[in-house]
A = this chain, B = another copy of it.
């Protein structure tokens, strides 16, 4: 199945455009998990990585049925060093086994054969002597566009080999995202330029969606509306809902007919609705996932999950 169809199916089968971000943070983890791993304070990077893995695998179970899309944030696994990245590999494998559509959030970007190395590792497995060794095997990656077309194209090339796709940073959710992204550049803003290029890069499949999408923050409702109106085939990855302050109503313009065309990420809002000492953290995650799934089903027009 082509990328757009797979993304659409991943949201339709659970009836909500929710995407759950996997952002493990030591200080927010349940004490119960921290205690199992070398005491409440970790004694090694391995202990941190083990706790991240245990928590992330639990989340994949707890949110099942409430989301079809999972977005692991590479930075937190990288901060736990090589053991953390080994843990990420196991989290990605479990996500595939459980049937999630995956967005590996690394915001990578480099040139030529270097971009190819990131893309192969992220999507299809790296090639060494013509042999393909899978690394992360994600369905899609986030990519930074600043380096230009010859930096993004190796990612597109690798993605198409595996019916995968990309989400290019267009207008990010952080308060200072406008510093460069909102500059007026030859008649339009930089982010609009980038967005049009994203539109030109993508190939649209039977779902009506392209295989090159855009990251546009929930904190930017006017930008979401512009995207949907001008580039209806570009799938949107919308971070910043919930903890980052994006309001539910502001998300409305992101969606096409029947809630298609956008996934809305929540990381902290779903993952950490409890105090570390709480023993009912599993229930809290289930409840927060169900609530986010339901709210987003409503605002997207996709119907109740």
- Which A residues fall within an 8 A CB radius of B? 23, 25-27, 34, 40-42, 44-45, 48, 73, 75-76, 78-82, 85-86, 88-89, 107-115, 117-118, 120-121, 126, 128-131, 133, 135, 144-151, 169, 172-181, 183-186, 190, 193-194, 197
Contact = CB atoms under 8 A, between A and B. Distances in A.
B129 A42 contact: yes
A171 B44 CA distance: 39
A109 B79 CA distance: 14
17 contacts: A23-B114, A42-B133, A45-B133, A75-B108, A75-B115, A78-B117, A79-B118, A81-B121, A82-B82, A109-B144, A111-B177, A145-B146, A146-B172, A148-B172, A148-B180, A151-B172, A184-B185
Contacts of A172: 111, 146-148, 151
Contacts of A181: 146-148
Contacts of A107: 108-110, 144, 147
| Copies of this chain present | 2
- Listed residue (A42, A73, A81, A120) with the most chain B CB atoms within 10 angstroms of its CB: A81
Contacts of A183: 185-186, 190, 193
A194 to B, nearest CB: 7
Nearest to A25: B113
Nearest to A182: B148
- Listed residue (A75, A129, A144) with the most chain B CB atoms within 10 angstroms of its CB: A75
A194 B151 CA distance: 19
Contacts of A133: 42, 44-45, 48, 80-81
